[in-house]
Amino acid sequence: MMGGLCSQLAALLLLLVVLPSPAHGAEESQDQTVFSRIIGGQDAQKGRWPWQVSVQKYDDKKHEYDHICGGSLISAQWVVSAAHCFHPPVSPAQYRVVLGAHQLLPLSPKPVLAEVQKIIPHPRYNRTSFVADVALVRLKEPVKSTFIRPISLPGASHQFRVGKKCWVTGWGNVEVTKPLQPPQTLQQLAVPIISTADCNKRYNTLNPRSPLGPERIKTSMICAGYMDMGSPKGFCKGDSGGPLACEQGGTWYLAGVVSWFLTRKVSGIVCSHPKFPGVFTRVTAYDSWIQEHVKGVGPLPALLQLH
């Protein structure tokens, strides 16, 4: 999770992770938009984030599952993740969800390995604007565990104040070409929420004439992270779909879903950009769609929260 210059091979990896994006027309600044990982964080305590899941996809060549994204358990049988994690679409049988893990290599403690029954990307997901970058994953069987807990959905009217410190977690790379090293301990990073206006103001310095207009950060998105940091603290490839978790009144809420982040490319070397915050899908904006499928999921009693 520590920042720093990435290797020369990063240019090759970037071809795999760059999206069609607002940054696409700004080659003169060499800014690129990529899916998210955590940088500058720290090892999480075992059991601290009991809703965190690893979304894994089967690799036919290696004959094993690879971690591709994070996600959040919101009920006994449903997980929220990012829509881009499942593009292009393949059979749900190619995926599994790992719940209750603290380390991925080897899987520890003994996790729950859940088969996937159905994947439902939001029907308005847009790969260019990042609007509706959210997906629901239905597990084949309900999770039964004493140490795995769902995170609460905030409801459509819930507000998260600007400046509030929340937490983003995941197992993503520590640099663009440097994966999290074994035993791949879950990482965490505290990030403040940034207003949509300030976030747009910062991203508009990138390319004010973007075809997406001056408000590329939509009201259905939420920004969190750091601007003008001397060293990068943010998210990039590998932690997409994971939670932005905010505690209020003894309950932990899923405020956002990790969606995208900006990096800077200079002379072929790709580094995390220290001046642009991360962008998340705002969960409150999709409450009715989630409830339509999941039905009746609300805040959990405070006694179920482990923090």
How would you label 210-226 residue by residue, b for 16+ Cβ within 10 Å and e otherwise?
A: bebeeebbbebbbbbbb
Residue 188, domain CATH = 2.40.10.10
- Exposed, middle or buried: residue 17 (CB in 10 Å: 0-12, 13-18, 19+)? buried
Residue 5 lies in a domain: no
DSSP letters, 177-236, are TBPPPTT-B-EEEEEEEE-HHHHHHHHHTT-TT-TT-S--S-TTEEEES-SS-SS--B--
Q: Does the residue 186 lie in any domain?
A: yes
Assigned domain for 265 exists? yes
Active-site residue, selected from the candidate residues 72, 75, 133, 220? 133
Catalytic residue list contains 21: no
Rounded to whole angstroms, the Cα distance separating 6 from 268 reads 10
211 & 176 share domain: yes
Report d(CA 120, CA 98) in Å as an integer: 18
pLDDT tens sequence across 52-91: 999 999 999 999 999 999 999 999 999 999 999 999 999 9
Residue 210, amino acid: S
Which band of pLDDT confidence, cut at 50, 70 and 90, is reported for residue 295? confident
User: Which among 21, 36, 72, 84 is annotated as catalytic?
Assistant: 84
Q: Which of 3-7, 115-119, 163-167, 206-210 shows the lowest mean pLDDT across its residues?
A: 3-7
Active-site pick, 81, 220, 240, 259: 240
Q: Is 239 a catalytic residue?
A: no
Mean pLDDT, range 80-109, rounded to an integer: 94
Instruction: Tell me the pLDDT tens digit for each residue of 108-161.
Output: 888 999 999 999 999 999 998 889 999 999 999 999 998 999 999 999 999 999
For residue 76, the enclosing domain spans 52-150+289-296
Are residues 265 and 123 part of one domain? no
Domain identity same for 164 and 19: yes
Separation in Å, CA 96 to CA 53, 69, 148, 279: 10, 11, 16, 26
Instruction: Mark whether 114 and 163 lie in a shared domain.
Output: no
Calculated CA dihedral for residues 155, 159, 165, 169, nearest 10 degrees? 30
The reply to whether 307 falls in a domain is: no
Q: Is the peptide bond before 109 cis (omega within 30 degrees of 0)?
A: yes
Whether 274 and 191 share a structural domain = yes
Q: Is residue 221 part of a domain?
A: yes
**C-alpha–C-alpha distance, residues 229 and 201, integer Å:** 17
Instruction: Report pLDDT for 35.
Output: 38
Same domain? For 236 and 178 the reply is yes
3-state SS assignment for residue 107: strand
Q: Within a domain: residue 2?
A: no
159 with 144, same domain: the answer is no
Per the structure, how many domains does the chain have?
2
Residue 133: active-site member: yes
Does 302 map to a domain? no
pLDDT of res. 135: 98
Residue 208 in domain: yes
| Pair (103, 173) in one structural domain | no
Average pLDDT, the chain: 78
pLDDT computed for residue 100 by the predictor: 96
Q: How confident is the model at residue 209 (pLDDT cuts 50, 70, 90)?
A: low
